[in-house]
């Protein structure tokens, strides 16, 4: 019906390999982008910006970084939060040492530092795989958080040990810090996340992405057909950590406004891993769906009782919320173990052949 592909002929290889071989997909994306760029900013309240739109985008970006490593290259990592921390602290040091620096440039550059750290911690992946590698990345997690606590230079010897985002201007408008307007921050986040998403889509569809997938599926076979495993794994670590580092800088500079070291501790790593797994490993769309489920849904559920006028104590709402989100995660994983992205893929396929399923 909506997804009827009859009449859409591909007359060239280019058309067949296009990002959206089905026209409806492109239209759908256009509508989503219109919502993201125009309708949400026009209608959203401060609360919606700060608790739904901005965090969903940032978490989705972090999950995308992890997904490149875990979903595409098959290297399980538990150190995502620490790499986010590297990005955040790098960005903080850059803007405090060089206050004239354009904040967006600083955010994009901070990914470089986490990419470097990511590669260093990715070296063991050449020798160890699977759960053993997860333990090695766990070491990165513990070591880096410890470093954020102990290396006072990183937080400019602040007595509280926390980093506080200063007011940063770009072209006369505050983009970070307490003076910044939520809508401005949202647009900065949206622009960066959009660019990074494009980058990730192209990378994963291209030569590098195929190399990663080959490494993930059967690494010995990949090596036999001439893929350099070292290069493949290390580039995956590099690209992944870069994206995660940028997400970390956005996390602190565009959203939180301040951070203490234990923010980047293991619960955040797990949260991002859950987003990636529930959204769907090896998928770009899944990161967004996962972030909506894990980050957005609890916030929406939390406002529901008040909106419907049901008088329950806030702590009870919190308990119910945790149970409901947990239940939903189990439910979604039971109906589709490969994540929300796969669920969408199946729905879409059914829609294309509807009403004549074979």
* Contact between 167 and other proteins per CB under 8 A: yes
* Contact between 162 and other proteins per CB under 8 A: yes
CB 302, min distance to other proteins, A: 8
Element (H, E) at 176: strand 173-176
Instruction: Tell me which residue of 74, 62, 79, 120 sits closest to 243, measured CA to CA.
Output: 62
* Contact between 342 and other proteins per CB under 8 A: no
Buried b / exposed e over 82-91, threshold 16 CB at 10 Å, is bbbbbbbbbb
Binder of other proteins out of 224, 225, 310, 313 (CB under 8 A): 313
Q: What is the DSSP string of 223-289?
A: HHTT--HHHHHHHHHHHHHHHHHHHHHHIIIIIISEE-GGGGSHHHHHHHHHHHHHH-TT-SHHHHH
Binder of other proteins out of 19, 26, 31, 346 (CB under 8 A): 31
**240, 116 in Cβ contact below 8 A?**
no
Q: Is 194 or 227 the residue whose CB approaches other proteins more closely?
A: 194
**85, 264 in Cβ contact below 8 A?**
yes
φ, ψ (nearest 5 deg) of residue 81: -60, -40
* Contact between 164 and other proteins per CB under 8 A: yes
* Contact between 207 and other proteins per CB under 8 A: no
Stretch that binds other proteins, among 101-109, 190-198, 276-284, 308-316 (CB under 8 A): 308-316
* Contact between 246 and other proteins per CB under 8 A: no
Q: Is 227 or 301 the residue whose CB approaches other proteins more closely?
A: 301
Binder of other proteins out of 303, 328, 333, 351 (CB under 8 A): 303
For Cα atoms 275, 281, 284, give the angle at the middle one, nearest 5 degrees: 80
The DSSP letter of residue 160 is T
* Contact between 307 and other proteins per CB under 8 A: yes
Instruction: Tell me which residue of 260, 259, 261, 278 sits closest to 270, measured CA to CA.
Output: 278
CB 314, min distance to other proteins, A: 4
What whole-number distance in Å separates Cα of residue 117 and Cα of residue 346?
A: 38
Binder of other proteins out of 147, 183, 300, 325 (CB under 8 A): 300
- Contacts (CB under 8 A) with other proteins, residues 34-93: 35, 40, 43-48, 50-52
Q: Which residues here bind other proteins, judged by CB under 8 A?
A: 28, 31-32, 35, 40, 43-48, 50-52, 149, 159-162, 164, 166-167, 177-179, 256-258, 260, 262-263, 265, 289, 292, 296-297, 299-300, 302-304, 306-307, 313-315, 317-319
């Amino acid at each position: 019906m909506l997804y009827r592909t009859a009449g859409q002929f591909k007359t060239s290889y280019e058309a067949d390999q296009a990002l959206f071989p089905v026209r409806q997909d492109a239209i759908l994306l256009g509508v989503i982008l219109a919502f993201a760029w125009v309708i949400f900013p026009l209608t959203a309240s401060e609360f919606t910006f700060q608790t739904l739109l901005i965090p969903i985008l940032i978490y989705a970006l972090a999950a995308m970084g992890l997904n490149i490593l875990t979903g595409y290259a098959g290297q399980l990592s538990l150190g995502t939060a620490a790499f986010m921390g590297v990005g955040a602290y790098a960005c903080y040091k850059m803007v405090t040492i060089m206050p004239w620096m354009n904040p967006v440039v600083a955010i994009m550059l901070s990914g470089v530092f986490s990419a470097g750290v990511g590669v260093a911690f990715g070296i063991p992946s050449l020798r160890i795989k699977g759960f053993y590698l997860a333990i090695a990345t766990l070491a990165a997690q513990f070591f880096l958080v410890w470093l954020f606590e102990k290396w006072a230079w990183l937080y400019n010897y602040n007595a509280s040990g926390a980093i506080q985002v200063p007011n940063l201007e770009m072209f006369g408008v505050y983009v970070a810090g307490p003076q910044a307007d939520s809508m401005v921050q949202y647009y900065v986040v949206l622009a960066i996340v959009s660019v990074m998403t494009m980058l990730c889509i192209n990378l994963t569809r291209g030569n590098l992405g195929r190399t990663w997938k080959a490494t993930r599926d059967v690494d010995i076979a990949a090596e036999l057909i001439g893929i350099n495993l070292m290069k493949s794994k290390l580039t995956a670590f590099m690209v992944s950590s870069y994206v995660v580092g940028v997400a970390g800088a956005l996390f602190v500079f565009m959203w939180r406004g301040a951070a203490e070291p234990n923010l980047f501790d293991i619960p955040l790593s797990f949260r991002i891993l859950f987003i990636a797994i529930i959204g769907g490993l090896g998928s770009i769309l899944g990161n967004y769906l996962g972030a909506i489920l894990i980050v957005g849904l609890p916030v929406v559920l939390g406002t529901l009782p008040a909106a419907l006028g049901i008088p329950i104590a806030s702590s009870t709402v919190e308990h119910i919320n945790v149970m409901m989100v947990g239940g939903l995660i189990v439910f979604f994983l039971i109906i589709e173990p490969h994540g929300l992205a796969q669920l969408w893929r199946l729905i879409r396929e059914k829609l294309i052949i509807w009403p004549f399923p074979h």
